[in-house]
Amino acid sequence: MANQELTQTRDDASTGKRDQTMLPPVDIIEDSTGITVYADLPGVPKDKLNVRVEDETLTVDAEIVLPLPEGMQASHAEVQRTRYHRAFRLSRELDPNQVEANLSQGVLKVRIPKAAHAQPRRISVQVA
């Protein structure tokens, strides 16, 4: 079976060019206190990763770095594109000011808690 990448074409605002990027596989898990996004970004170092929240949109941009020993060239490469891009519209229930991100062994974990108004809360009942 051929290697099939999920890709997209987008306009790069900084260069004005159309750019082919890979869509990283993503898992999104929701619990009562917020959501956690896991994105597979193999080959991406921290300095080539940009995670941001702007106008209720979570955006992940990353660039793969495949180091080769000096003087060597790859004779075969299955990775044809070296950039990842993914964007998600965030619910108003989430708090974009409390986002936490962690990159470990090629997996990006982004935690976005629910805003205080959307958190479940226990109501105390008074006995008359």
Residue 111 has what pLDDT? 98
**Residue in 13, 29, 22 with CA at minimum distance from that of residue 43:** 22
| pTM reported for the whole predicted model | 0.75
Dihedral sign computed on CA atoms, order 33, 39, 43, 47: negative
Instruction: Measure the CA–CA gap between 68 and 75, rounded to whole angstroms.
Output: 11
Q: What is the pLDDT along the chain (128 residues), one digit of tens a residue?
A: 333 456 565 555 555 655 688 899 999 999 989 999 999 999 899 999 999 999 899 999 999 987 778 888 877 777 667 899 999 999 999 999 999 999 999 999 999 999 988 777 788 899 98
